[in-house]
A and B are shown apart, each in its own frame.
Chain A
Amino acid sequence: AQSVAQPEDQVNVAEGNPLTVKCTYSVSGNPYLFWYVQYPNRGLQFLLKYITGDNLVKGSYGFEAEFNKSQTSFHLKKPSALVSDSALYFCAVRDGLGFQKLVFGTGTRLLVSP
């Protein structure tokens, strides 16, 4: 079965500094990977996805993610963090060729301090 792991429960970063939220994956076949963000009392918002092609994927709100096949990782990055980026971030992998449910990681809380 496909799975993703988010090794950090929380990441703390100062505003203006670069941020990285880690995700590793375990899949059979080609990985289809996603990042979602959840703000307090809100649903999940799509940030970006990797299907194929360039290993560096650019997404919403200035976020990007780097797909690394050798390290089976798909870390989320942003060059300069904003306080408003503080939220819960989920990495996910598509599971199944048919209906393609998403399998989520446990989530990483990002806290950006002023």
Chain B
Amino acid sequence: GAGVSQSPSNKVTEKGKDVELRCDPISGHTALYWYRQSLGQGLEFLIYFQGNSAPDKSGLPSDRFSAERTGGSVSTLTIQRTQQEDSAVYLCASRPRASGTDTQYFGPGTRLTVL
């Protein structure tokens, strides 16, 4: 079946602009995660959604970052007033359930470049 999809695959923006990154999880997966992969920080957790529960935002690096998940499916990560240090690959992952030992499956990522 279809895996996790993300769009756009690449995004180049100017410093100070807002960007939106989209994630379509695997159908039926209730848990959704955003991670960031950057040269200086490696792979780091950003935010987690589970069903209708309040998201865990403990990994968001600043208040310029926000995310929402509509209808328990598609998620959008928004970065306001982008900075050059926001340049990274943003990865989305989904899991079938919130608990248990299920595997997280990752999308191909969105490469964000802030000029």
Interface residues of A (CB under 8 A from B): 32, 34, 36, 41-46, 49, 51, 90, 98-107
B90 vs chain A, min Cβ distance (A): 10
20 A–B contacts, CB within 8 A, in A order: A41-B108, A42-B109, A43-B91, A43-B107, A43-B108, A44-B91, A49-B103, A90-B43, A98-B56, A98-B98, A100-B95, A100-B99, A101-B45, A101-B59, A102-B33, A102-B35, A102-B45, A102-B104, A105-B42, A107-B42
When C-beta atoms are compared, the residue in chain B nearest to A51 turns out to be B101
Q: Secondary structure at chain B's binding surface: helix, strand, loop or mixed?
A: strand
Q: Is B48 an interface residue (CB 8 A)?
A: yes
- Which 9 A-B residue pairs are closest in the complex by CB-CB distance? A104-B43, A44-B106, A43-B108, A43-B106, A101-B45, A99-B48, A51-B101, A43-B109, A106-B42
